[in-house]
Chains A and B, each alone.
Chain A
């Protein structure tokens, strides 16, 4: 089946820092999605990407759909404490299932 490799597995952020995470796949996807999940909640959609090479922003978040259609990255600029949580990439082929990565856990550095 389709497997997404998400890195890093975890990261510590200091308020004000820029952070970056990425996702690679052995398969091609038509859509890349980035979700954030807080404890006790379901994933919340942050950014959706629909075309190879597309660069999309949502506030302090920027994501890109790789030109090979097998990768994507997410950047968070000027991080704030509420950015902590688990970030998931997900790829979609056709009109149904999402294939998720294992997540990047973002924690505030004390």
Chain B
């Protein structure tokens, strides 16, 4: 139990559809980041939120968007799904990024 809970654990979507992935962090974890991990690769940074504002973004198109809520939960939304979006999506949160992040177990998204 890491204190960061992601749902659902697995998901299958059709190309062109939209998907929302959810993350619940520990109380006090004001910073949340989302990563995409393709099979056999390291996680790639998508974006980060601090106190409900996006404060950093990686090389992902605008169809990847997010929200962070006051109750330490957050969402990753992906529109117009493509086959290459198939990956493990990881949420990571921290009370202070200088001292590392705690990762959830991820959501395995398959786009067919």
* CB 8 Å contact bits of B1-40 with A (1 = contact, 0 = none): 0101000000000000000000000000001010100001
Closest 10 CB pairs of A and B: A100-B42, A42-B103, A97-B45, A96-B56, A95-B97, A96-B48, A43-B103, A42-B105, A100-B43, A45-B100
Instruction: Answer yes or no: A52 CB below 8 A from chain B CBs.
Output: no
Question: In the complex the two chains form, is A44's CB within 8 Å of B103's CB?
Answer: yes
Give every chain A residue within 8 A of B55 (Cβ-Cβ).
Answer: 96
Instruction: Answer yes or no: A31 CB below 8 A from chain B CBs.
Output: yes
Give every chain B residue within 8 A of A76 (Cβ-Cβ).
Answer: none
Give every chain B residue within 8 A of A50 (Cβ-Cβ).
Answer: 98
Instruction: Answer yes or no: A1 CB below 8 A from chain B CBs.
Output: yes
Tell me the smallest distance from the CB of A57 to a CB of chain B, in Å: 17
Instruction: Answer yes or no: A17 CB below 8 A from chain B CBs.
Output: no
Question: In the complex the two chains form, is B102's CB within 8 Å of A95's CB?
Answer: no
Q: List 23 A-B contacts (CB under 8 A).
A: A33-B100, A35-B103, A41-B106, A42-B2, A42-B4, A42-B90, A42-B104, A45-B102, A95-B98, A96-B55, A96-B97, A97-B56, A97-B58, A98-B33, A98-B35, A98-B43, A98-B101, A101-B42, A102-B40, A102-B41, A102-B42, A103-B40, A103-B42
Chain B interface size range: 20 to 34
Instruction: Answer yes or no: A48 CB below 8 A from chain B CBs.
Output: yes
> Which residue of chain A has its CB nearest to the CB of B99?
A48
Give every chain A residue within 8 A of B41 (Cβ-Cβ).
Answer: 102-103
